[in-house]
A and B are shown apart, each in its own frame.
Chain A
Amino acid sequence: MNPAPSIVFFTTASGAGYGLLFWLGLLRPVGLVPQVPAFALLCLALALLLITAGLASSLLHLGNPQRAWRAFSQWRSSWLSREGVAAVATYIPALLFGTALLTGRPGLATIAGLVAALGAVVTVWCTGMIYASLKPIPQWHHPLVAPGYLLLAAYTGMALLAAVSAIGGVVAGPASFIVTLGLAGLVLKIAYWRLVDGGMGRSSAESATSLGFIGRVRPLDPPHTETNYLLREMGFRIARKHAAKLRNLTLLLGFGGPVLLALLATQLGFGGLLLPLAALLALGGMLLERWLMFAEARHTVTLYYRGT
């Protein structure tokens, strides 16, 4: 699948934004993050900035962005529509949360924060399900895909939260969260890659053409000599050559690096420096991970063109 930059950026940025919103709403009432309103406001602003930038970037992907409002209508059947509804709905408690913080109403802030956290989970789950529900792409139609979106959003969100709180001087708690979530992400990615590499998809050139009863089926003449939308959109295969290297880089940069930095920060100090660096690495790693998620995925239409 073609890793369109607008979508790679969208899922990474808004994933991290929703992750940050989630942790902020959840951990603030239990006192695990700095309690000064300025901290929460800063985190909230960062979360909304990332979410909004991501959503704006996803609009760039549309052929007719001016009609985007229509995408709220089909939530009964479409995960994309549900994602849109959930994304917009989450703004309401998030903004209420901010207002409560500004006007000093802690009770409202807690409730709005918790509702916003719930909205964040629902939105990211919908994002994951958009991909996980697509049967023609076996690497996406996989039980680990939607949970993976949730976990990685939680992980990058926590990395951001830790960065901000470390600048404010609170290091140990958030750092231990990074270690846990980072290791969980590492295990999930390795497990996912193992599973999808061990043979994916029941469809073949034989079932795609119904000619399997004759024998093995291989393309002889293509239907067109130039490329087309299908091949550009779904026939992307540049990454395959470098897939192994890029996977290792993702694991190293996106998970290994931040986990190591978080450990160092708890042992040696310098949290205000190391944890922001960890967040940058985690986000960079996530861009790479998302890019691979697309580049490595194969659509069944390539069976018609390439036989594999």
Chain B
Amino acid sequence: MTCLPEITPGAKKLGLVIDLDTCVGCQGCATSCKEWNASGHSAPLPDYKPYSAGAEGVWFNRVHSYEAGEGADGRTVHFPRSCLHCETPACVTVCPTGASYKRGEDGIVLVDHDICIGCGLCAWACPYGAREMDEDQGVMKKCTLCVDRIYNETIPEAQRQPACVLACPTKARHFGDLGDPESKVSRLVAERGGQPLMPELGYGPVNSYLPPRRRADTQPVEDAPTPMDIKNPVLRWMDRVLSR
């Protein structure tokens, strides 16, 4: 059913919080995502021409790098891009078949690959480029928020998290319930001023991006030398006289 579940305050909204301050652009999350999802709910995740020039394939997570700002204020920011599991996603409502749907119980946006006709309209409707067609099977694929890990009772509890979150070496990725204001992720968003992407389009992205921290405004000042730092006895005497 491609009509969206009703938005109820306090309802579970599972999602990711991504820290652009600590992400180092290592591609660990993207690789780990590809590895897990090549055999999970969305399997297979094809690669076309994998062993020759022009190799490409379906990935759910793409890590870009940007330069932001100019001169001394400019900085490099690494930026992982994946499905934001939006609250009002047009990718779902445009789907003619009901293959795309948003789950009422946790807000995860999924595709039923047995129903999808591969029209590609949902990929057009997603502003964030989060959907990629499996051109071998002719069906749309996308991030599942590792729905086959987070509820999976056959793996140790500590591992019931999206593969990207577990893989991140700098702990720049956090997973949790953004519908609960008291959750760890919600508190992170509140403390650090987490930002939605392209809020002007009104999709209500659930994932949030923590902005890179501002550099301290004041330049570090060199400490004034103490008398002990002044080796020359004449200068040390002058320092003492002048310091009175």
Contact = CB atoms under 8 A, between A and B. Distances in A.
B137 A63 contact: yes
Interface in A75-120: 76-81, 84
A229 B199 contact: no
Given A209-B79, A214-B75, A80 B96 contact: yes
B201 A136 contact: yes
A135 B202 contact: yes
B77 A130 contact: no
Contacts of B26: none
A136 B127 contact: yes
B28 to A, nearest CB: 13
B190 interface: no
Main secondary structure of the interface of B (DSSP, over half): loop
B127 A67 contact: no
B123 A71 contact: no
B133 A216 contact: no
Contacts of A1: 124
Given A1-B124, A64-B116, A223-B63, A73 B73 contact: no
Contact of A67 (B79, B95, B115, B201): B115
Contacts of A230: 123, 129, 132
Contacts of B188: none
Q: Most chain-B Cβ atoms within 10 A of its Cβ — which of A67, A136, A228, A299?
A: A136
Interface string B205-221: 00001011000000000
Contacts of A73: 96-98
B51 interface: no
B118 A62 contact: yes
Contacts of A210: 20, 195-197, 209, 211
A70 B117 contact: yes
Interface string B56-82: 111100111111111001111101010
B22 interface: no
Interface residues of B, number: 70
B76 A213 contact: no
B139 interface: yes
B204 interface: no
Contact of B96 (A84, A220, A299, A305): A84
Main secondary structure of the interface of A (DSSP, over half): loop
A66 to B, nearest CB: 9
Given A207-B200, A228-B132, A216 B77 contact: no
A63 B76 contact: no
Given A210-B195, A221-B25, A227-B56, A203 B127 contact: yes
Interface string B20-48: 10000100001000000000000000000
A63 B118 contact: yes
Contacts of A205: 66
Q: Most chain-B Cβ atoms within 10 A of its Cβ — which of A78, A219, A221?
A: A78
B104 interface: no
Given A133-B94, A234-B124, A214 B117 contact: no
Contacts of B198: 203, 207-208, 300
A229 B117 contact: no
A81 B138 contact: no
Given A135-B90, A228-B132, A300-B198, A64 B62 contact: no
A304 B81 contact: yes
B68 A207 contact: no
B67 to A, nearest CB: 5
Contacts of A65: 117
A229 B133 contact: yes
B95 A78 contact: yes
Contact of A211 (B20, B90, B96, B200): B20
A63 B68 contact: no
Interface of B: 1-4, 20, 25, 30, 54-59, 62-70, 73-77, 79, 81, 90, 92-99, 115-121, 123-129, 132-135, 137-139, 195-202, 209, 211-212
Interface of A: 1, 61-65, 67-68, 70-74, 76-81, 84, 130, 133-137, 202-203, 205, 207-224, 226-230, 233-234, 299-301, 304-305
Given A81-B96, A214-B212, 6 more contacts: A63-B120, A77-B2, A77-B3, A134-B125, A210-B196, A221-B64
11 contacts: A61-B120, A63-B116, A63-B134, A64-B118, A73-B97, A74-B95, A214-B74, A215-B74, A219-B66, A223-B62, A234-B123
